[in-house]
């Protein structure tokens, strides 16, 4: 890139200089980033001279990581399902416990839990979140007087924490393939397709006011019958042809077997045959696919939403990343049940699962980026941005200034080359975070590793958690 002399009047508050920065095509030196009042990057030059008066990053500058899959309320019961309840616990026995906590959520507790979760996300390197939101109604399953109450609580939590959000209200109608009626403990989730489309219209002004994007999440093929899936996708497309569509698909072998018994097809196969899957879609988990399904799903341009620590926690199985990448598949990471809230740790878990299953090292390094952490971050940022449907895909002009700065003085990083600092951050600095600061849309949200709401939000979270986990 060309040498750029400093301009006369640097906009001190809207610019940052970094000796090393990870741009979409790799590491660059002496990068000066400027953004406008709307938080969009307007100017980005490598090989610059640090302009007088401009803030200098304390270490390598990275793109902020989009978190493409979150059920915020689940943060409140982390640690409370890690005991043997049945002779052989499973995803399904975990789900029974999870529903008990879901049944106790209130608008107030959801907002407190989500606010703290989003503060934690920001401190852990995530600059935006896709919230896959399915607890809609009151504890008896009746819509709140304002039917958008819980969705609005999540939007407020994101706004107050300062994280970018794609809100994906969830369509949930049945308890199993073949239009099985919902269970009693699913009553809070249920909406008709028309009611869902009205909710999206109702939420549009609030979302727009904070730069949030609205999409739709048909929960799974288990929970949404074919007619509803078609009508919902059509209705959403009429509201916004670009709106993101996320779906849980093929996470557990049991659901694959049930889908085959119902339709003769596996879930991914069925979806690709019956829905207009394209780059708007995020296939969450997609853990159990045949080689043909990997190829066909990758070809659609949809993003694979991988949630490495949750998939490990729930005993889902291992996504075959090399096979997905071989077909040009796009992907990003989500923290899902929030057993872990740490972007670097999700990447670590993902790479390690591949190493363990293949008995190889550096599996997710690419031809362009030999350094595993660098290759993974660039791909996960691009895929996560696509899944979010927002202009957040990395450090480039026209995109939002969502940025993370590592602390080059952290003992795990000090005196290493920049690309190795990133590797040391991803593979070896979890006891104390090496994240120094973080910006969302050009607004600084984390300084010296902490968000301004850290203390207050933590306290409110602990109170909300105590109320949520108290025995009936
Ligand atoms: C969820 N979570 O909706 O919270 C699901 C579990 C289900 C994950 N799949 C419930 N990780 O799939 O029915
Ligand atoms: Zn999920």
pLDDT tens digits along 397-438: 999 999 999 999 999 999 999 999 999 999 997 778 999 999
What radius of gyration do the chain's Cα atoms show? 22
DSSP string, 345-362: HHHHHHHHHHHHHHT-SS
Active site includes 336? yes
Cα–ligand 1 centroid distance for 95 (angstroms):
7
Closest atom of ligand 1 relative to the 71 alpha carbon: 4
Could you say which ligand is closest to the alpha carbon of residue 74? 1
Is residue 11's pLDDT more than 50? no
18 three-class SS: strand
Q: Residue 403, Cα to own-chain centre: how many angstroms?
A: 16
pLDDT tens digits along 173-192: 999 999 999 999 999 999 99
Contact assessment for residue 130 and residue 168, using Cβ atoms and an 8 Å cutoff: yes
Is residue 88's pLDDT more than 80? yes
Cα–Cα distance, 380 to 376 (Å, whole number): 6
Cα–Cα distance, 364 to 208 (Å, whole number): 37
Quick one: which of 195, 153, 151, 156 has its CA closest to 173?
Answer: 195
Cα–Cα distance, 467 to 472 (Å, whole number): 10
Active site includes 43? no
H or E element that contains 361: none
Say what the pLDDT of residue 13 is: 81
Say what the pLDDT of residue 12 is: 52
Is residue 258's pLDDT more than 80? yes
Ligand 1: list residues with CB < 6 Å. 71, 95, 220, 248, 251, 310, 314, 336-337
181 three-class SS: coil
Is residue 162's pLDDT more than 60? yes
Contact assessment for residue 167 and residue 390, using Cβ atoms and an 8 Å cutoff: no
Q: pTM of the entire structure? A: 0.97
Encoded tokens for 265: 């097809």
Say which CATH topology domain 65-388 has. Answer: TIM Barrel (3.20.20)
For tokens 């199985």, name the residue.
317
Is residue 6's pLDDT more than 70? no
Please tell me the number of Cα atoms within 13 Å of 367 on its side-chain side: 3
Contact assessment for residue 403 and residue 63, using Cβ atoms and an 8 Å cutoff: yes
Which residues lie across from 40 on neighbouring strands? Answer: 400
Domain chopping of the chain, boundaries:
12-63+401-455, 65-388
CATH code for the domain defined by 12-63+401-455: 2.30.40.10
């Amino acid at each position: 890139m060309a040498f750029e002399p400093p301009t006369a009047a640097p906009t001190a508050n809207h610019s940052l200089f970094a000796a090393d920065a990870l741009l979409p095509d790799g590491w660059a030196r002496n990068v000066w980033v400027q953004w406008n009042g709307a938080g969009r990057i307007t100017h980005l030059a490598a090989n610059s001279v640090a302009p007088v008066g401009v803030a200098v990053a304390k270490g390598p500058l990275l793109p902020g990581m989009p978190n493409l899959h979150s059920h915020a309320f689940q943060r409140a019961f982390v640690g409370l399902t890690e005991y043997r309840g049945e002779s052989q616990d499973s995803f399904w026995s975990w789900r029974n416990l999870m529903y008990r906590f879901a049944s106790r959520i209130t608008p107030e507790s959801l907002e407190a839990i989500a606010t703290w979760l989003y503060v934690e996300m920001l401190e852990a390197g995530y600059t935006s979140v896709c919230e896959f939101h399915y607890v809609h109604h009151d504890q008896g399953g009746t819509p709140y007087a304002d039917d958008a109450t819980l969705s609005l609580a999540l939007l407020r939590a994101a706004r107050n924490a300062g994280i970018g959000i794609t809100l994906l209200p969830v369509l949930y109608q049945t308890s199993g393939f073949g239009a099985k009626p919902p269970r009693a403990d699913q009553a809070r989730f249920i909406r008709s397709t028309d009611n869902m489309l009205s909710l999206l219209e109702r939420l549009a002004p609030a979302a727009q006011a904070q730069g949030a994007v609205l999409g739709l999440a048909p929960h799974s093929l288990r929970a949404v019958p074919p007619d509803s899936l078609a009508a919902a996708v059509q209705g959403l497309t009429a509201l916004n042809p670009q709106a993101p569509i996320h779906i849980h698909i093929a996470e557990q072998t049991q659901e694959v077997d049930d889908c085959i018994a119902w339709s003769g097809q596996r879930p991914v196969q069925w979806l690709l045959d019956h829905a207009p899957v394209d780059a708007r879609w995020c296939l969450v988990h997609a853990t159990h696919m045949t080689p043909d399904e990997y190829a066909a799903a990758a070809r659609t341009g949809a993003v694979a939403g991988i949630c490495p620590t949750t998939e490990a926690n729930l005993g889902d199985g291992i996504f075959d990343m090399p096979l997905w990448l071989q077909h040009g598949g796009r992907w990003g990471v989500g923290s899902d049940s929030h057993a872990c809230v740490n972007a670097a740790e999700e990447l670590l878990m993902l790479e390690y699962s591949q190493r363990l299953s293949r008995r190889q090292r550096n599996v997710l390094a690419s031809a362009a980026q030999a350094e595993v952490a660098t290759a993974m971050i660039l791909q996960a940022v691009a895929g996560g941005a696509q899944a979010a449907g927002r202009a957040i895909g990395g450090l480039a002009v026209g995109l939002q200034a969502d940025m993370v700065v590592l602390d080059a003085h952290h003992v795990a990083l000090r005196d290493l080359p920049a690309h190795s600092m990133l590797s040391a951050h991803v593979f070896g600095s979890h006891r104390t975070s090496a994240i120094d600061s973080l910006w969302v849309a050009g607004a600084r949200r984390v300084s010296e590793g902490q968000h301004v709401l850290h203390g207050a939000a933590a306290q409110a979270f602990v109170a909300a958690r105590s109320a949520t986990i108290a025995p009936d």
